Amino acid sequence: MVTDSSLIYRFGDFELDPARFELRAGGDARHLEPQVLSLLLLLASNADRMVSKDEIIEKIWGGRVVSEAAVASRVKAARQALEDDGHQQRFIRTIHGRGFRFCTPVAFDHVDQVPASLSRRDDPPRAAPVSEERPSIAVLPFQLLGDAGPFAFLADALADELIADLSRLRWLLVIARASTFRFRDRTSSCEEIGAALKVRYCLTGTLEEAKGGIVLSVELARTSDSAVVWAERFIAGPDELHDLRREMLAAIVARLESHIVQHEVELARRTPEAALDAWSAYHLGLDHMFRFNKADNLRAAGLFERALSFDPHFSRALSGLSFTAFQDCFLQYSDRREVMAERARSLAEQALQCDPLDPFAHLNLGRSLWFDDAIGESVERLGQCIALSPNYAQAIYSKAWAEMAQCEGGRSDADAALALRLSPLDPLRYAMLAVHSINALLRGDPASAVDWGEKAARSPGAHKHIAIIAALAANASGNGDRAALWIDRARQLDPDMTRANFLKSFPFVPSGERETIERGLHDVGL
């Protein structure tokens, strides 16, 4: 049976379910045209920003020429489904001449129950007056609530281990234990701690005993005004503590990495472009890079180049440029595939020269090796990346992809599942799901392949290759009509898509499994 941490968008009285591809009001599904549902998914998954008309056309119509009236018609239908209109604009706001924005707070739910604090906030955060450009954090010792008994040592031990684990994130400045533990009595406010230690973020927590186990509550706040950025609660039973201790630490590190980066992006968006510093330009570049379309990929490259104009040895910006070259090559945005493949590798190597310990640089070098048919070497490089940052979900996913290409389905599935657990809201979530789909297809489980594949193809950011994977799964299950629909979707995104192009991006090793993929591509008309 396929088990996935299903992601659901909640706003007002509505639920938007990508896995089931439906909008629900009060639990009842509302029938909508597929393009209208796709538009709602695109807007809701990007509720923190305006989505341009060009991006809507590229994502919904595959970049084909469509009229303003066609876009307006889909927006009107989406509003009607939400009991909204062009005058009220309670959910979808028109930014005249530019695009649209989802203007109501959106909460994200999945199996692990994302806390309500993840809902979008409308109040603009104010940047903390710190001298360091890169994000910075202070991890305080956790407070004991009541008598924690034999678990009392964990209050200091968990905070101490978190400091060590977070220090592996090269983009994050982590204040040393000797300084943060001075605030053990917690009489100082978050703002005062921020001013004293010159940090943007403060992580605090409480620990209490419950029926022989522990309950750990953690909270990330910005020091400019003590507003909560993220919070979560972990529970470990008396027999689970040893195993869950590392799992809790891994989850906290992964969540912090995701939410701090997102918060830095929001700060950068509110900064005039002329005032962007190197780190702000880098974070804004990440935001555009993960939208997975040609226009935003070019925009991301420009922002990374701006960051490098401040600091030519900025490893992260070089890695970002490598990622944009990889994306250009993988998604075949241009006819310069060999040039972009070489650029992706060269920039990743430059990034490693600037910072040999940066996991992002190792990730990009590992991925660039896919274009040299050096999948085994890629797995080794990605393993080094994970050794540097054990909770780096995108590196773990990339390793799962490389293992998939080597037809090592068991290892690949385990790594893809771990990546999803560590980063359930990851911009590469669609790709993590697609890895499960291909592995299921290759082991002869078409039902699971269809389940994973369609979830992947309906996820935000899914590109033409993911639609083809959904088509392969549908064909293997005997549903030719469904396969044809997904192939039509892939051709909308790229009319020139061919079997050879797909296999260039997915270089499966010569094997019976590769022959299965090739037969499937032939059967679906590629």
Q: What is the CATH number of the domain that holds 129?
A: 3.40.50.10070
User: How far is Cα 44 from Cα 460, in angstroms, rounded to an integer?
Assistant: 10
Cβ 135 vs Cβ 170: under 8 Å: no
Separation between Cα atoms, residue 53 and residue 294, nearest integer Å: 14
* Cα distances (angstroms) measured from residue 18 to each of 224, 229, 242: 36, 25, 36
For the cut 60, the answer to whether the pLDDT of residue 243 exceeds it is yes
Same domain, 520 and 456: yes
* Cβ–Cβ < 8 Å for 32, 21: no
Using 50, 70 and 90 to split pLDDT, how confident is the model at 149? low
Q: Give the residue among 133, 150, 80, 402 at the shortest CA–CA distance from 279.
A: 133
* Dihedral sign, Cα of residue 367, residue 452, residue 120, residue 68: positive
Whole domain around residue 450: which residue ranges? 405-526
Residues 92, 156 share a domain: no
Q: Is residue 123 predicted with pLDDT exceeding 70?
A: no
- pLDDT category at 442 given cuts 50, 70, 90 is very high
Residue 116 lies in a domain: no
Out of 251, 269, 287, a domain closes at 269
**By three-state DSSP, how is residue 441 classified?**
helix
How many Å apart are CA 422 and CA 216, to the nearest integer?
18
Q: Does 296 fall in a domain?
A: yes
Return phi, psi of residue 88, to 5°.
Answer: -70, -50
pLDDT of residue 110: 47
**Distance from C-alpha of 298 to C-alpha of 291, rounded to nearest angstrom:** 11
Q: CA quadruple 440, 445, 448, 449: dihedral positive or negative? A: positive
Q: To the nearest whole percent, how much of the chain has pLDDT over 90?
A: 40
According to the model, what pLDDT value does residue 27 have?
83
Candidates 409, 425, 483; CA nearest to 114 is 425
d(CA 327, CA 74): 29
**Which letter does DSSP use for residue 333 in this model?**
-
Structure tokens at 97: 């001449």
Q: What are phi and psi of 423, to 5 degrees?
A: -140, 75
Confidence at residue 329, expressed as pLDDT on a 0 to 100 scale: 94
Among 280, 257, 279, 252, residue whose Cα is nearest residue 268: 280
Do 183 and 231 share a domain, yes or no?
A: yes
Of the residues 350, 372, 394, which one is the last residue of a structural domain?
372
pLDDT higher than threshold 90 for residue 109: no
- C-beta of residue 207 within 8 angstroms of C-beta of residue 218: no
- What lies within 8 Å, CB to CB, of 27 at 6+ separation is 15
Mean pLDDT across 250-276: 80
The pLDDT tens digits for 317-336 are 999 999 999 999 999 998 88
- Classify residue 22 as exposed, middle or buried by CB count within 10 Å of its CB (0-12, 13-18, 19+): middle
Evaluated on CA atoms 59, 63, 67, 70, the torsion sign reads negative
Cα distance from N-terminal residue to C-terminal residue, the chain: 30
Looking at the fold, whether 287 and 299 belong to one and the same domain comes out as yes
Per-residue pLDDT, 247: 75
Alpha-carbon gap, residue 457 to 451, rounded angstroms: 10
Same-domain pairing of 261 and 281: no
In a domain, 390, yes or no: no
pLDDT at 127 over 90: no
- Is 136 part of a structural domain of the chain? yes
Please indicate, yes or no, whether residues 248 and 319 belong to a single structural domain of this protein.
no
Token digits of residue 352 = 């490693």
Q: Please check whether residues 63 and 155 belong to one and the same domain.
A: no
Look up residue 5 and give its two tokens: 């941490």
Judgement on whether residues 135 and 259 belong to the same structural domain of the protein:
yes
Measure the CA angle with vertex 207, ends 142 and 423; round to 5°. Answer: 80
CATH classification at residue 457: 1.25.40.10
Which region among 35-39, 70-74, 258-262, 332-336 has the lowest average model confidence (pLDDT)? 258-262
Residue 256 lies in a domain: yes
Instruction: Decide if pLDDT at 3 tops 50.
Output: no
The stretch 323-351 carries a mean pLDDT of 93
Number of domains observed in the structure of the chain: 4
Amino acid at 253: V
List, for residues 358-369, the tens digit of each pLDDT value.
Answer: 889 999 999 999
Most confident of 124-128, 137-141, 201-205, 316-320: 316-320
pLDDT 10s digits, 451-492: 999 999 998 889 999 999 999 999 999 999 999 999 999 999
The arithmetic mean of pLDDT across residues 227-248, rounded, is: 76
**Helix segments in 270-335, DSSP class H:** 278-289, 294-310, 315-330
pLDDT of 115: 35
Q: Which pair of structure tokens corresponds to residue 28? A: 């009842």
Asked whether the predicted pLDDT for residue 60 surpasses 50, the reply is yes
Of the three residues 269, 285, 300, the one that is the final residue of a domain is: 269
Query: How much is the mean pLDDT over the chain?
Result: 85
3-class DSSP string for 350-369: HHHHHCCCCHHHHHHHHHHH
Task: Give the CATH number of the domain where residue 96 resides.
Answer: 1.10.10.10
Q: Domain check: are 15 and 82 in the same one?
A: yes
Give domain status of residue 214, yes or no.
Answer: yes
The answer to the question of residue 115 being in a domain is no
pLDDT at 170 over 80: no
Q: Tokens for 33?
A: 């045209």
Quick one: average pLDDT of 247-254?
78
Q: Report d(CA 246, CA 228) in Å as an integer.
A: 24
Q: Is residue 454 part of a domain?
A: yes
Domain shared by 224 and 198, yes or no: yes
Regarding whether 428 and 343 lie in a shared domain, the answer is: no
Phi and psi torsions of 182, nearest 5°: -70, -20
Res. 89 pLDDT band, cuts 50 70 90: confident
pLDDT band at 244 (very low <50, low <70, confident <90, very high): low
Provide the 10 A C-beta neighbour count for residue 265: 19
- pLDDT for residue 7: 67
Residue 220 and residue 159: Cα distance in Å, rounded?
13
Q: What is the pLDDT of residues 377-432, one digit of tens each?
A: 999 999 989 988 887 889 999 999 999 999 999 999 999 999 988 887 788 999 99
Can you tell me the distance from the alpha carbon of 247 to that of 357, in angstroms, rounded to the nearest whole number? Answer: 24
Q: Is residue 162's pLDDT more than 70?
A: yes
67 and 144 assigned to the same domain: no
Number of separate helices (H) and strands (E) present in the chain: 21, 14
Q: Residue 134, class by beta-carbon neighbours within 10 Å (0-12 exposed, 13-18 middle, 19+ buried)?
A: middle
